[in-house]
Amino acid sequence: MKKTFKVYVVGEQKHYANFLFNFVLVDNIEDADIVIFTGGEDVDPALYGAECHQTTYYNRARDEYEISMFKKIRKDQFVIGICRGSQFLCVMNGGKLVQNISDHALYETHEIHNNKEMSYEITSTHHQMQYPFELNKKDYDILYYTHRSRIYSGDNIDKSLINCDVEIVIYHKDGLPKCLAIQGHPEYMRHDSPVVIMINDLVNNYVK
């Protein structure tokens, strides 16, 4: 029998937990097995040392609130970020963002891959992307990726380091909780979708 996870969603968009198979929402972050950061505005580029691109739209008050919540998370808790939430987790782990990419704001699905030649269809609605490529390689693993974008724009990035369009990353930096950063929107997909099943398997493997 699979464990029922206690889930705390940061903010009011509680439906972001809906892709999980077995969960109950809790009102206090301290009680959670899993903390979820949701989608929305871009992350302020100042938080990763970059100038704002013309396509970037951020809400600094939200950034500051979510940073305060992230600091409350214990190392034994697990963190999931969806869409903007995935980008926020990249930044919280010391990474940067590509502030504008092409061919991802589709409002439909596209294929993602891993290094074991597995592929899945997942939603794609974003114009920014995680940029973990300058982090210590022991601190993260790119689990799923794609190759779609023709444009990578934004300050303070090295385009020569970008070898894929990042889709799902696990961050495991010493001193921080493990963070699963999912660029797509599994909460909008059916529970029997192969990608939703795969993501639940990941969560079950990471959350002890």
Residue 105: what pLDDT? Answer: 86
Q: Which helix (H) or strand (E) holds 86?
A: helix 84-92
**pLDDT band at residue 21 using 50, 70 and 90 as cut-offs:** very high
Residue 180: what pLDDT? Answer: 98
Model confidence at 2: pLDDT above 80: no
The predicted model gives 157-162 an average pLDDT of 97
User: Structural domain of residue 133, as residue ranges?
Assistant: 5-206
For residue range 177-193, what is the model confidence (pLDDT) as tens digits? 999 999 999 999 999 99
> Could you give the dihedral angle defined by the CA atoms of residues 79, 82, 84 and 87, in that order, rounded to the nearest 10 degrees?
50
CB 182 within 8 A of CB 203: no
Q: How many domains in the chain?
A: 1
Residue 120: what pLDDT? Answer: 96
Give the residue from 113, 87, 97, 98 showing the smallest Cα distance to 171: 87
Model confidence at 139: pLDDT above 80: yes
Rg (CA), the chain: 16
Residue 208: what pLDDT? Answer: 76
For residue range 33-51, what is the model confidence (pLDDT) as tens digits? 999 999 999 999 999 999 9
DSSP 30-75: GG-SEEEE---SBPPGGGGT-PPPTT--B-HHHHHHHHHHHTT--T
**The tokens of 28 are what?**
């206090």
For residue range 47-103, what is the model confidence (pLDDT) as tens digits? 999 999 999 999 999 999 999 999 999 999 999 999 999 999 999 999 999 999 998
**pLDDT band at residue 173 using 50, 70 and 90 as cut-offs:** very high
CATH number for the domain that contains residue 72:
3.40.50.880
User: What single letter denotes the amino acid at residue 27?
Assistant: D
Model confidence at 4: pLDDT above 90: yes
Average pLDDT of the residues of the chain = 96
Share of the chain above pLDDT 90, in %: 93
